[in-house]
């Protein structure tokens, strides 16, 4: 089933990203986002109705024989994930709003459009994270830590390499658009700022893989540094927006993500030995939901 989900996520991301780029280029404005999510909905409905109904039927027919204590097993991780999402959203949204207030709507529109482009590229890397989370957790639960480390390194190298290649291709296409004077290129940041912004996407992919690796151990010790760097990033973005320096805004946004990458590497090296002593088979299965999948026969033995 993991392989099927990988293919589904790939086609979903590819189709919705192409539609978004075409919609933006066609000049339909905010309706481009609506078009993207309509395509995602169509692909998801097709994926579910085509051959996944037996799985949902099994869930409805199966009697509950094992229960998970939500307060003890789920909530400690759940509230941290929610806090991460809120902080990331506020940091991301605050950048455009602050630029709009202090620099003007033109520059805010450029960085907003640039964020959309790098978001499309970054969403391809997110596919890996959505799929490898359960796989990492299965290896951690089985205490196959050597396989877990090897898989972590392999995924890190392959996903970052692919994302870096896509970023380089996007920069080249932007340069080509500027050379032939396409009107679309005038809606984005300049080449220098756009290239720096792409560094944040590569750093963000590294962070996503690191987070999946850490959470496979049923741990999340990243929240504090994320809050600190998120607040620092917002304050610095506000300051450089106030003095009307869009280039420094982009540098700050990318630099904070690079600092996160370094911090995560240090955290993993110092704490993974402690995490592994605390790994519980039942806890990790409860977190990933793979216990139900194993009963249904959807997960192949590794």
Distance of CA 268 to the CA centre of its chain: 19
Same domain, 284 and 145: yes
Mean pLDDT of the chain: 78
Buried b (16+ CB within 10 A) or exposed e, 158-188: ebbeebbebbeebeeebeeeeeeeeeebebb
Max mean pLDDT among 24-28, 71-75, 136-140, 283-287 falls in 136-140
Distance of CA 191 to the CA centre of its chain: 24
Query: 69 pLDDT band (50/70/90 cuts)?
Result: confident
The boundaries of the domain holding residue 153 are 78-296
With respect to residue 70, please indicate whether it lies within any of the assigned structural domains.
Answer: no
Classify burial at 29, counting beta carbons within 10 Å of its beta carbon; exposed 0-12, middle 13-18, buried 19 or more. Answer: exposed
With respect to residue 69, please indicate whether it lies within any of the assigned structural domains.
Answer: no
Is the model's pLDDT at 232 over the cut of 60? yes
With respect to residue 73, please indicate whether it lies within any of the assigned structural domains.
Answer: no
CB 253 within 8 A of CB 197: yes
Pick from 73-82, 207-216, 248-257: least confident: 73-82
CA dist list (Å): 117 to 11, 102, 113, 163, 246: 18, 23, 6, 13, 18
What ranges in 27-104 are assigned the alpha helix state H? 31-51, 53-61, 75-102
Q: Rounded mean pLDDT of 164-193?
A: 79
Cα gap 197→122, rounded to integer Å: 12
CA 225-278-132 angle, to 5 degrees, is 65
pTM of the predicted structure, to 2 decimals: 0.72
With respect to residue 302, please indicate whether it lies within any of the assigned structural domains.
Answer: no
Is the model's pLDDT at 91 over the cut of 80? no
Same domain, 20 and 156: no
Same domain, 95 and 29: no
Using one digit for the tens of pLDDT, what is the confidence trace for 4-42? 776 777 778 778 878 887 887 777 777 888 888 888 888
Is the model's pLDDT at 152 over the cut of 70? yes
Query: 282 pLDDT band (50/70/90 cuts)?
Result: very low
Same domain, 98 and 236: yes
Same domain, 121 and 253: yes
Same domain, 50 and 96: no
With respect to residue 241, please indicate whether it lies within any of the assigned structural domains.
Answer: yes
> What does the pLDDT read at residue 281?
47
Same domain, 180 and 221: yes
Q: How many domains does the chain have?
A: 2
> What does the pLDDT read at residue 114?
82
């Amino acid at each position: 089933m993991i392989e099927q989900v990988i293919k589904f996520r790939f086609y979903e991301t590819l189709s919705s990203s192409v539609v978004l780029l075409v919609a933006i280029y066609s000049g339909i404005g905010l309706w481009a986002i609506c078009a993207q999510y309509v395509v995602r909905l169509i692909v998801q409905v097709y994926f579910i109705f085509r051959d996944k109904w037996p799985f949902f039927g099994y869930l409805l027919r199966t009697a509950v024989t094992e229960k998970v204590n939500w307060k003890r097993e789920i909530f400690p991780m759940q509230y941290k994930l929610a806090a991460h999402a809120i902080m990331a959203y506020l940091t991301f949204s605050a950048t455009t709003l602050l630029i709009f207030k202090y620099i003007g709507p033109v520059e805010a529109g450029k960085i907003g459009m640039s964020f959309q482009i790098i978001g499309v590229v970054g969403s391809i890397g997110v596919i890996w994270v959505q799929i490898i989370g359960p796989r990492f957790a299965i290896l951690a639960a089985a205490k196959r830590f050597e396989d877990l480390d090897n898989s972590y390194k392999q995924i890190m190298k392959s996903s970052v390499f692919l994302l870096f290649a896509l970023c380089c291709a996007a920069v080249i296409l932007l340069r080509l658009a500027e050379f032939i004077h396409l009107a679309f290129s005038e809606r984005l940041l300049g080449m220098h700022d756009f290239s720096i912004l792409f560094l944040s996407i590569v750093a963000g992919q590294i962070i996503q893989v690191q987070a999946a690796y850490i959470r496979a151990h049923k741990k999340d010790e990243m929240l504090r540094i994320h809050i600190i760097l998120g607040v620092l990033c917002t304050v610095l973005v506000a300051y450089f927006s106030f003095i009307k320096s869009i280039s420094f805004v982009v540098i700050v946004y990318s630099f904070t993500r690079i600092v996160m990458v370094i911090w995560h590497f240090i955290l993993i090296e110092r704490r993974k030995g402690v995490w592994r002593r605390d790994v519980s088979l039942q806890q990790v299965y409860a977190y990933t939901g793979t216990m139900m999948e194993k009963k249904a026969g959807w997960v192949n033995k590794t």
